[in-house]
Structure 1
Amino acid sequence: MSVGAAVRRVRAYGGQFLLLAVLTLVVTLLISGVPRLVNRLAEQGLRAQLNSEPAERRDISYTSMMAPATSQRTAMGNAAERFDALATAMPPEVRSAVTERWYSVETQAARVVGPDLAARKLLLDVSLRAMPDIHDASTLVEGAWPNETYIPDRPIEVALDVDVARKLNLRAGSQLRVGKTDEDGNLLGGDPLLVSGLFRPVDRQNGIWNTLPQLLQVIEPVGDGQPLVAVGVVAQSALNKRAVEGWPIQSNWRYRLDVDRVDARKLDQLVDGLQVMQRNQPSDLTLTQGVDVPLRAFAAQIEAVRTLLAVIAAGVLATLAGLIVLAASLATRRRRSEFVLLRARGAGATAGARRSLAESVLVVPVAAVLGWWLGTLVPGSPDSTMPYIIAVTVLVTLALPLATLAAPAGGAERRDLIRMRPSARRLTVEVSLLLLAGLAAVLLRRRGLTLGEVDPLLVSVPVLLAVAAAVLALRAYPWPLLLVSRLAARTRGSVAFLGTARAGRAAVAAPLVVVVLAIGTAAFCAVVAAGVDASRERAAAQIVPADAVIRGERFAPDTIDELGRLPGVRAVTRVLYEDDERLAADQLGTDAFVGQTDVLVVDGSGLDLVARQSQVDLSVPAALRTALPGPGPLPAIVSPAIAADLAKAGMTDSAFILVQGERYEFRVAGTEDRFPLLEANVNRFVILPWQALPTRTTTPVPTTLLIAGDSLNAETLRVAGDQGQERYQRDGTVTGRERLLGVTVDTRADVRRDLREGGANGVLAFGFVGGAVGGTLLGLLAIAFTVLAGARSRGQVLSRLRTLGLSRRQWRGLLLVELTPLVAVSVLTGALVGAVLPLLLNPVLGLSAFTSGVPVRVAFEPSLIAAVLALGAVALGFAVAVEALNNRRLRLGEVLRLGEES
């Protein structure tokens, strides 16, 4: 068989081979390019996630105990040696991600006195720190750096940050003394201390300045009569001398992970490496790291989205595979007379298949290589997809010869005369397919799956269910059409009768399956996306069940009135939250031995008002909303775990809980799995009604404030919250001695935005958009194949009817009546499959990683009906347009003259 003859045949049937080549190119492009794009989006999301955290969150810190040096070696030499040893001992995954490293040694803070401090009556403790890299990270402003050469009887030289020195009334040349103090705070002797110079950091964001206590700021006193705390830089030789003299010292080694070096594909290995470091930390050191928390959260999202992408990819690739089969079948059908003639001239049974194989080899591998090359141009880290590319190329190359072998060897036949009753063999295959799809779905729900892995059962279940639904639709839809056709036969005109009769006998088994697969994939993406979005709304309402929330330590009671006077505020309510409280069996505090619980005290009616004013769908239990002061235990809403423990201990009607120093008796009035303001992983809690609390010696004060309002300014709320905390500390019944931390303000809009934009949401959005758009386009293409599959027989019928006087308008009506049932059945079946699949797969997809732990609920969306109707209209218009173009190309008169298989 000559290559030239194969090339001529490829040119002669160029349109068919072009279609096969385009489909091959699309498949290999998706296999090669989509993983790169997913990896790129994942890396971008990971960088955004880590960059949103404080830079020091990426630090891995080792800290020694503050104690006198136990070794005769110099303190700095020992610290430098361990600095390299600790880095070498890191797991390779962690060590490769570390770029910046720092270490320092410092003394315990000691009292410092001097005339410049006394001039402003400043009480000051200073810690002396040696930092080898400080000269490169800062600029000397005044004086000189501490001398590295140790000279006996010379004062300890220290350098200070210029802003710190200004706040402490110090300058280059200030004479001080440093040492221990007695019980009254008086300095005992002490050593001379000289401020040798002042420096300013080149870049305050440089990680070298993140060591605690801060070098660039003065630490405010934590209580009345307490000293300020500052850190000064000394020479390494000076610190070694203090260590030898017995001053307590502490070493710190910090290693910062570079965001650009963290591979999103290897997060599990990195987290495992951090856990190994945690378990194997040296006994004399304390390891501190918090980067595993955002890494775990992002890894959970990536695992969930990769599992979802596997489902979407299975639907898209199965649709493309079906289109390739349809293209090969259509090409073989158009050339059936050619293969019959070969057999008639004495060729073997495989002659046509060998001819088709030679033609495919000329087209398919070239298209596959081109698609693979285009995929490599997509930015992103590559995955090992070459085996899949080779497998797809081989299978598509064999599609055309296999279709040739499967084609009937006989001559022309009437394909429009399809029996309503299928053969026993076909019924057996279809029943087996239905049973297999049902069994696979049951096994998937019972067995579950491992997120992040491509599970063969997971990717096969959507395809099996779609094919099963298509089979059922094929068996069901001719029956109502038969009834409609009989009714149409009794009416005037032939358009309705002929159209419904032909639609009921249409042979569209394979094309309709492909349409259902495509539309089902698109509908699945739309339904799941809507479910995730609705669940994010519920998650935002759980985190902030108002327009804004202010969280602090304790607020003065009048803070509610102050907030109410702010512009835009409509309602404010109070909440008290305490964690890890123990339940008691009596007023004396006898331990009930039922574990610890979180306590939330809410004003039931106030919470209900704020939720309604904020348009939050929150149902406050009646036990909390209607409770009033009175004798007996308070009605409480508890979690199922607490309810079970109390029932087991026989304390359902009477238990005690401590709230801000006062013990309150309560009874179980109801249970809730979750409650607003509590984290998703909290499963032990007690909710008390604030308005029903009995009068006690001390009045509870709120720790959280919920605000409903319009155009709320977060900074204004923060200022009001801080002022409320300061008033409580100044005027409260028990005046606070420790400086309160600043409040945090969260708005529901900000929480909703963070849930939608943070983490791996870019990959998730790509999956939804790509699946919906790709499924819709492939569905339309499959409908075009469905139309083309019966175009020849329809052309012959229309040619005959046109010669009998059928007008052009009647011809279009007949075409519309014939195609409408087919398009409607395929689109509706696909939409139904796409709506049912989320109900089956949602529990195993792990999408709660994108909703702050709130379970994703997939429910019926009314908008889906409008989308299906619009898609059906577009599909029908597309089908009619394809049929009209095809008839114009074939010219109906020639179709009638050339016969059945022209």
Structure 2
Amino acid sequence: MSVGAAVRRVRAYGGQFLLLAVLTLVVTLLISGVPRLVNRLAEQGLRAQLSAEAPARRDISYASGVVTATSQRTAMGAAVERFDALAREMPPQVRSAVDERWYSVETRPARVVGPDLAARNLLVDLGLRSVPDVQGAGTLVEGAWPSETYVPGRPIEVALDVDVAGKLNLRTGSQLRIGDADDKGNLSDAAPMVVAGLFRPADRANGIWDGLPQLLRVTDPVGDGEPSIVVGVVAQSALNKRAAEGWAVQSTWRYRLGVDTIDARHLDRMIDGLQQLQRGKPSDLTVTLGVDVPLRAFAAQIDAARTLLAVIAAGVLATLAGLIVLAASLAIRRRRSEFVLLRARGGAATAGARRSLAEAVLVVPVAAVLGWWLGTLFPGTPDPTTPYAIAATVLVTLALPLATLVVPANAAARRDLVRVRPSARRLTVEVSLLLLAGLAAVLLRRRGLTLGEVDPLLVSVPVLLAVAAAVLALRAYPWPLLLVSRLAAGTRGSVAFLGTARAGRSAVAAPLVVVVLAIGTAAFCAVVAAGVDASRDRAAEQIVPADAVIRGERFAPDTVDELGRLPGVQAVTPVLRVADERLAVDELGTDARVAQTTVLLVDGSGLAAVARESAVDLQVPAALRAARPGPGPLPAIVSPAVAADLTKAGLDDSAFVSVQSQRYEFRVAGTEDGFPLLPANASRFVILPWQALPARNTTPVPTSLLVAGDSLDAEALRHAGDAGQERYQRDGTVTGRERPLGVTVDTRADVRRDLGNGGANGVLAFGFVAGAVGGTVLGLLAIAFTVLAGARARGQVLSRLRTLGLSRRQWRGLLLVELAPLVGVSVLTGALVGAALPLLLNPVLGLSAFTSGVPVRAAFEPGLVAAVLALGAVALGFAVAVEALNNRRLRLGEVLRLGEES
């Protein structure tokens, strides 16, 4: 078997080998390029999420206690030794991600006095901090940096941020004294101090300034009569001297993880390293880190996205595999007479397979290498997918010789009829396939899966279900067509009768399976995407069941009226939330011995009005809406866990809970799995009707305010909320000493936008788009194969009918009638499979990581139904166009003259 002869045959059948080469190229391109693109999107999402966090959230901070020096080592020297030792003790994956690091030693804040402070009657506590390299991070504005040369009797030299000094009325040369203050403000062990210089940070974002308390700001007093807290920079020698004299000092070491140093592919190892670091911390230090929280959230999203991508990839690759099998089968059927002649001349049974193998070796590996190379041009870090590409290339190369062995060599065989009564062998195979698909689906639901891993059962279940659905469709759809054909036989004209008769007898088993796989993958992506989108809407309504929510500490009661007078505000209702309350048996507070519970007070009718004005689909329980003041316990809506505990304790008809120092009796009037303003995973809560509270000496005040309106001004809402907090603190029954924190204003639109942006949403969106587009395109290609599979038989029939007087218009009608059932059944079956898969797979995909914990439910929107109908129409038009082009290429007159196998 010469290579030259194989090359000549490849050239002679160039179209068939080109199709096989293109499919091979697409397979290896996907295997090589898609993981790179996914890794790229994951890295971008992780960088965006980490960048959105405050830089200090990426710090691993160690802090010693406030201690007095007890050894001969200097305070700074001990800090340096510990600085390097802590870095060496970190797990390797954490240590390699550290991008910046700092350490400092500081004294605890002590009272500082001086003429410049007294001029403005300022009460200030000053901490002294020594930070290496601070001079390189700051620019002197006045004076000089504190001298490292220690001179006995010289005042302590301190440098201050220029803005901090301005707020404290301090300047270069200001004379101060520092020491411990008693209750009357008298200093003990006071030491002289002088402001040596003022500096300005070269970059305020530099992490060297992020130690707490911060060097660049004045920490406001926490209450009336309390001092402001300031930190100044001192020389290392001065701090060592003060520590040696017995001043209590504290050392801190901070290691900041870089945004670009954390590998999105190995988040699990990074999170495990952070856990190991916390467990293995030295006993004399406290460790603080916040980066594990965003990393865990992103890891949950990326695991869910990768699991979904595995399902989509299984559908796409299975479709491509089916197309390759179809291409190989069509190619061999066109050359059946060649292989029959080869056997007739004395060739062995495997002679045709060897010839096909030689031809495939000339085409498939070259296409595979080209596809792999094109995939390497995609941006992103590669995955170790080379073995998969090699395996795919080998399988595609063997497809052609295997098809040569499988395709019957009998040239006179009829293959255009479907047996109404299938053989026992085929029936056994089909029943076994159905049972296997059902068993796999049940096992997947019962066993679950580990997110982020390619589970063989997970990727096989969608394919098995699609194939099983295609088998059922093949068994079912000829029967109604035969009935329609019999009815059409009694009508005038031959188009309907002949078209339905041929459609009911077409042999399209393998092509129909491939079409169902492709359309099912596209429909699955569309349905899950719609479900995620709808679940995000529900999550936004769960977090903000209004147009906006103002959250704070406590608001004055008149804040509701003040908000109602703002432009655009249509309705306002108060909400009070108290976390971790203990339930009681009686009004005296006897502990009910059940777990702590979150308490929520809502005005039932007010909440319903705000939700209605905000166009939020919120069904407020009737027990909360209809409650009115009266004797007896309050009707309460509780979570199932609380209801079970109260029933077990015999308190479901009467229990007590404390709200803002007042104890209220309630009874269980209903249960709910969740409620707005509570986290999606909240399992213990009690909701009381605010409007039904009994009169007491003090009335509850809201901690949140729900606002409904059009074109709300978030800044105006924030200002009104802050003013309400200040009025409560000033005029409330119990005047608080601590200054309240500023309120936060969240709009439902902003929350909804945040849920759809950032994190691993880029990977998820890529999976949806790629699956929907790829499935649709491959589905149309599979329909083309389905049409071509029976094109020659249809061409012969049409040739004879044209000679009998069939017009061109009737010919097109006959094509349409014959192909419409096939296309309609394949598209409809694929759409049903795609719509059913989310019902099975959603509980195990973990997509709630993208919806703030709200479970994702399949969403059947009218737009999806319209899309399926449009796809069916496009597919039918495409099928008719392919058939027409093929008939024009075959020239129907020649088909009739040359015979069945022309």
1:349 to 2:349 alignment: yes
- What one-letter code is carried by the residue in structure 1 that aligns with 2:477? Y
Counterparts of 2:129 and 2:437, CA distance in 1? 69
Aligned residue in 2 for 1:665: 665
Counterparts of 1:369 and 1:465, CA distance in 2? 33
1:765 to 2:765 alignment: yes
Counterparts of 1:794 and 1:124, CA distance in 2? 96
- Deviation string 1:612-639 (CA, Å, 9 cap, x unpaired) is 0000000101111111111111111111
- What one-letter code is carried by the residue in structure 1 that aligns with 2:364? V
Aligned residue in 2 for 1:578: 578
Counterparts of 1:35 and 1:53, CA distance in 2? 27
Aligned residue in 1 for 2:901: 901
- What one-letter code is carried by the residue in structure 2 that aligns with 1:270? M
Q: Secondary structure at the match of 1:106?
A: strand
- What one-letter code is carried by the residue in structure 2 that aligns with 1:607? L
Counterparts of 2:412 and 2:891, CA distance in 1? 21
- What one-letter code is carried by the residue in structure 2 that aligns with 1:44? Q
Q: Secondary structure at the match of 1:31?
A: helix
Aligned residue in 2 for 1:279: 279
Aligned residue in 1 for 2:259: 259
Matches within 5 A, 1:40-189: 40-189=40-189
- Deviation string 1:707-750 (CA, Å, 9 cap, x unpaired) is 00011121111111111111111111111100111111100001
Aligned residue in 2 for 1:400: 400
1:679 to 2:675 alignment: no
Counterparts of 1:868 and 1:182, CA distance in 2? 80
Aligned residue in 1 for 2:415: 415
- What one-letter code is carried by the residue in structure 2 that aligns with 1:823? V
Counterparts of 1:326 and 1:717, CA distance in 2? 64
Counterparts of 1:508 and 1:202, CA distance in 2? 74
- Deviation string 1:807-864 (CA, Å, 9 cap, x unpaired) is 0000000010000000001000101111111111111111111110011111433322
Counterparts of 2:422 and 2:673, CA distance in 1? 52
Q: Secondary structure at the match of 2:767?
A: helix
- Deviation string 1:143-178 (CA, Å, 9 cap, x unpaired) is 010000111111100000001111111111111111
Counterparts of 2:119 and 2:640, CA distance in 1? 63
Aligned residue in 2 for 1:200: 200
Matches within 5 A, 1:495-644: 495-644=495-644
1:656 to 2:681 alignment: no
Aligned residue in 2 for 1:782: 782
Aligned residue in 1 for 2:217: 217
- Deviation string 1:442-467 (CA, Å, 9 cap, x unpaired) is 11111111111111111111000100
Counterparts of 1:680 and 1:503, CA distance in 2? 52
Counterparts of 1:291 and 1:616, CA distance in 2? 34
1:463 to 2:480 alignment: no
Counterparts of 2:484 and 2:680, CA distance in 1? 55
CA displacement at 1:417 relative to structure 2: 3.9
- What one-letter code is carried by the residue in structure 2 that aligns with 1:901? E
Counterparts of 2:346 and 2:71, CA distance in 1? 98
Aligned residue in 2 for 1:699: 699
CA displacement at 1:535 relative to structure 2: 0.7
Counterparts of 1:419 and 1:734, CA distance in 2? 88
Aligned partners of 2:126 and 2:231 also within 8 Å: yes
Aligned residue in 1 for 2:690: 690
Q: Secondary structure at the match of 1:379?
A: coil
Aligned residue in 2 for 1:434: 434
Q: TM-score, normalised by structure 2?
A: 0.99
Aligned residue in 2 for 1:751: 751
Aligned residue in 1 for 2:190: 190
- What one-letter code is carried by the residue in structure 2 that aligns with 1:449? L
- What one-letter code is carried by the residue in structure 1 that aligns with 2:44? Q
Matches within 5 A, 1:819-858: 819-858=819-858
Q: Secondary structure at the match of 1:259?
A: coil
- What one-letter code is carried by the residue in structure 2 that aligns with 1:365? P
CA displacement at 1:407 relative to structure 2: 1.3
CA displacement at 1:418 relative to structure 2: 3.8
1:729 to 2:729 alignment: yes
Greater Cα shift, 412-421 or 505-514: 412-421
Counterparts of 1:71 and 1:25, CA distance in 2? 72
Aligned partners of 2:101 and 2:256 also within 8 Å: yes
- What one-letter code is carried by the residue in structure 1 that aligns with 2:749? A
Counterparts of 2:182 and 2:526, CA distance in 1? 73
Counterparts of 2:60 and 2:358, CA distance in 1? 62
- What one-letter code is carried by the residue in structure 2 that aligns with 1:753? R
- What one-letter code is carried by the residue in structure 2 that aligns with 1:23? L
Aligned residue in 2 for 1:372: 372
Q: Secondary structure at the match of 1:493?
A: coil
List gaps (5 residues or longer) in structure 1: none
Aligned residue in 1 for 2:892: 892
- What one-letter code is carried by the residue in structure 1 that aligns with 2:273? G
Counterparts of 1:618 and 1:747, CA distance in 2? 17
Aligned residue in 1 for 2:450: 450
Counterparts of 2:623 and 2:417, CA distance in 1? 70
CA displacement at 1:124 relative to structure 2: 1.1
Counterparts of 2:694 and 2:208, CA distance in 1? 53
- Deviation string 1:858-898 (CA, Å, 9 cap, x unpaired) is 14333222111110000000000000011111111111111
- Deviation string 1:636-679 (CA, Å, 9 cap, x unpaired) is 11111111111111111111111011111111111111010011
CA displacement at 1:70 relative to structure 2: 3.0
List gaps (5 residues or longer) in structure 2: none
Give the RMSD, CA atoms, in angstroms: 0.8
- What one-letter code is carried by the residue in structure 1 that aligns with 2:113? V
Q: Secondary structure at the match of 2:72?
A: coil
CA displacement at 1:119 relative to structure 2: 1.1
Counterparts of 1:58 and 1:713, CA distance in 2? 33
CA displacement at 1:51 relative to structure 2: 1.0
Counterparts of 1:307 and 1:417, CA distance in 2? 41
- What one-letter code is carried by the residue in structure 1 that aligns with 2:882? V
- What one-letter code is carried by the residue in structure 1 that aligns with 2:687? I
Aligned residue in 2 for 1:249: 249
Identity, % of aligned positions: 84
CA displacement at 1:419 relative to structure 2: 2.9
Greater Cα shift, 408-417 or 384-393: 408-417
Aligned partners of 2:534 and 2:859 also within 8 Å: no
Greater Cα shift, 889-898 or 314-323: 889-898
- What one-letter code is carried by the residue in structure 2 that aligns with 1:117? L
Aligned residue in 1 for 2:869: 869
Aligned residue in 2 for 1:882: 882
CA displacement at 1:759 relative to structure 2: 1.0
Counterparts of 2:296 and 2:624, CA distance in 1? 36
- Deviation string 1:561-612 (CA, Å, 9 cap, x unpaired) is 1111111100000000110110111111111111111110001110000000
Counterparts of 1:711 and 1:528, CA distance in 2? 32
Q: Secondary structure at the match of 1:435?
A: helix
Counterparts of 1:38 and 1:758, CA distance in 2? 15
Counterparts of 1:855 and 1:69, CA distance in 2? 55
CA displacement at 1:308 relative to structure 2: 0.7
- What one-letter code is carried by the residue in structure 1 that aligns with 2:865? I
Counterparts of 1:670 and 1:485, CA distance in 2? 59
CA displacement at 1:189 relative to structure 2: 4.6
Aligned residue in 2 for 1:232: 232
Counterparts of 2:846 and 2:107, CA distance in 1? 49
Counterparts of 2:528 and 2:297, CA distance in 1? 21
Q: Secondary structure at the match of 1:858?
A: coil
- What one-letter code is carried by the residue in structure 2 that aligns with 1:273? G
